[in-house]
Structure 1
Amino acid sequence: MSAEQRENLEAILRQSAFPADIDLEEQRRLLRELLSAQPLPADVTVTASTLGGVPIAKVTVDGVEPRHTVLYFHGGVYVMGDAFTAADLASQVARRTGAKAISVDYRLAPEHPYPAAVDDALAAYEGLLQNGTAASDIVFAGESAGGGLAVATMVNARDHGLPLPAAAYVMSPYVDLTLAGATMETKGAVDPLMSRQGFLAQIANYTSGQDAAFGLISPIFADLSGLPPLVIQVGTYEVLLDDAIRLAGAAAAADVEVVLDVTPGVTHVFQAYHAILDEAVVALDRAGQRLSAHLAGAKRVTAHAE
Structure 2
Amino acid sequence: MESIQSKLQKFFFRVIRLNRMWKRTGEELRCYVENKQKKDRYEPPKSYYDRYEIKKCTVERFPCYELKPRTGGGRKHIIFMHGGGYVLEITSMHWEFIGKLIDRTQVGVTVPIYPLAPRYTYRDTMGMLQALYSELLTQHDPGDVIFAGDSAGGGMSLAFAMLLKEKGFALPGQLILISPALDMTFCNPEVSCVEKRDPILATPAIVDCGKWYADNLNLKHYLISPLYGDVQGLCPIRLFTGTDDICNPDARKFKAKAEAQGIAVDYYEYPEMLHVWPFFGLPESKQAVEQIVEAIEA
Using structure 2 for the length normalisation, give the TM-score: 0.85
Q: 1:290 aligns with which of 285, 289, 295?
A: 295
- Aligned residue pairs total 288
Q: CA deviation at 1:36?
A: 9.4
Of the candidates 94, 101, 114, which is equivalent to residue 93 of structure 1? 101
Q: Amino acid of the residue matched to residue 124 of structure 2? A: A
Q: Which residue of 1 aligns with 2:236?
A: 229
Partner of 2:286: 281
Give distance in 2, aligned partners of 1:124 and 1:10: 41
Q: Which amino acid letter does the alignment assign opposite residue 112 of structure 1? A: Y
State the Cα deviation string for residues 169-198 of structure 1 (Å, max 9, x = none).
000111111212233201112111101112
Q: Which residue of 1 aligns with 2:7?
A: 6
2:224 to 217, 223, 234: 217
8 Å Cα contact 1:59/1:90 also seen in 2: no
The verdict on how the C-alpha distance between 1:53 and 1:125 changes in structure 2, with shifts beyond 3 A counting, is farther
For residues 116-155 of structure 1, the aligned pairs below 5 Å read 116-129=124-137, 131-155=138-162
Counterparts in 2 of 1:44 and 1:278: CA distance versus 1, 3 Å: farther
What is the rounded CA distance, in whole Å, between the counterparts of 1:9 and 1:42 in structure 2? Answer: 35
**Amino acid in structure 1 at the alignment position of 2:290:** D
Which 5+ residue runs of structure 2 have no aligned equivalent? none
Look up the match of 1:203: 210
Q: Encode CA deviations 1:139-184: one digit per residue, 9 max, x unaligned.
A: 1100001001101111111122211111110001111112122332
CA contact (8 A) 1:46 1:87 kept: no
Assess, with a 3 A threshold, how the Cα gap between structure 1 residues 192 and 63 changes in structure 2: closer, same or farther: farther
Q: Give the letter aligned to residue 125 of structure 1.
A: Y
SS at match of 2:292: helix
With over 3 angstroms needed to count, the CA separation of the structure-2 counterparts of 1:36 and 1:263, relative to structure 1, is farther
Q: Tell me the SS of whatever aligns to 2:195.
A: coil
Shift in CA distance, 97/237, structure 1 to aligned 2, threshold 3 Å: same
Q: Is the 8 A contact 1:48 1:56 kept in 2?
A: yes
The amino acid that maps onto 1:170 is: L
Q: Percent identity?
A: 22
Secondary structure, in 3 states, of the residue corresponding to 1:209? Answer: coil
Q: Quote the residue 2:257 is aligned against.
A: 250
Contact in 1 for aligned 2:19/2:202 (Cα 8 Å): no
Does the CA contact (< 8 Å) of 1:167 and 1:228 recur in 2?
yes
Moved more, 21-30 or 255-264: 21-30
Q: Which residue pairs with 1:174 in the alignment?
A: 181
- The worse-fitting range, judged by mean Cα deviation, of 85-94 and 204-213 is 85-94
The whole-number CA distance in structure 1 between the counterparts of 2:55 and 2:19 is 29
- Report the CA distance shift for 1:30/1:271 in structure 2 as closer, same or farther (over 3 A): farther
The 3 A distance-change label for structure 1 pair 28 and 3 is farther
- What's the CA shift for 1:247? 1.9
Contact 1:32/1:85 (<8 A) preserved: no
Question: Alpha carbons of 1:48 and 1:203: their partners in 2 closer, same or farther (altered >3 Å)?
Answer: same
C-alpha distance in 2 between matches for 1:88 and 1:74:
12
User: In structure 2, what residue type is equivalent to 1:247?
Assistant: F
281-290 or 253-262, which deviates more: 253-262
Q: Which amino acid aligns with 1:101?
A: V
In 1: Cα distance, 2:110 partner to 2:167 partner: 21
1:84/1:103 contact within 8 Å kept: no
Structure 1 segment 102-121 matched on structure 2, within 5 A: 102-121=110-129
Post-superposition offset of 1:87: 2.5
Asked if 2 retains the 8 angstrom alpha-carbon contact of 1:183 and 1:240, the reply is: no
Q: CA RMSD in A?
A: 2.9
SS of structure 2 residue aligned to 1:77: coil
In structure 2, the residue matched to 1:299 is none
Deviates more, 1:209-218 or 1:43-52: 43-52
